[in-house]
Amino acid sequence: MEAVQFDDIDAINALASEEFGEWGPEIEVTQQMIDDFAELTGDRQWIHVDVERAKKESPFGGPIAHGFLTLSLLPQMSLSGIALKGQGSAVNYGAESLRFLSPVPAGARLHARSRVVKAEAKPRGTLVTSQVEVAVVDSAKPSLLYGMQILYTPPAG
């Protein structure tokens, strides 16, 4: 993939697509990861951390990952749908949208793919919005859809 100058709005928008790119690397979501995330965040809801209870009472047949754990794994899974050059930094600007659509069972393997939605000039740089899909491998329905926004800023100086 050829890199595009970070402030070339027209060139970035020319890369926008309704189609997602290729799937990125897979990652297994273990019960230990879920437990560690619960400890870190204080979200120890039984549906995530009580394996025996989740097997008996959960509508999912066992424990599931926190939605925000799934979101936080994106850097390990995603391949950028775009290669930019010339920027000083890339700053998480926020979310245009975020939907948790289906559960991620403990032990599931996840992967992600993305597509460029749009680019727009901002006073401090270029705001690129991408849509990221995270899914359990071999699942027909995504687990997460994220309208990710990254602000690419000029080099300092």
The domain that holds 38 is classified in CATH as 3.10.129.10
Q: Where would I find the H helices in 27-153?
A: 31-41, 46-49, 51-57, 67-72, 74-77
Q: What pLDDT is recorded for position 96?
A: 95
Q: What pLDDT is recorded for position 120?
A: 98
Q: How far apart (Å, rounded) are the C-alpha atoms in residues 126 and 124?
A: 7
Per DSSP bridges, beta strands 4-5 and 84-85 are: parallel
Q: What pLDDT is recorded for position 1?
A: 64
Q: What pLDDT is recorded for position 87?
A: 96
Domain that holds residue 79: 4-153
Per DSSP bridges, beta strands 89-100 and 27-28 are: unpaired
The number of folded domains in the chain is: 1
- Give the pLDDT means over successive 10-residue stretches in the chain (157 positions): 91 95 95 98 97 98 98 86 91 96 98 96 97 96 97 92
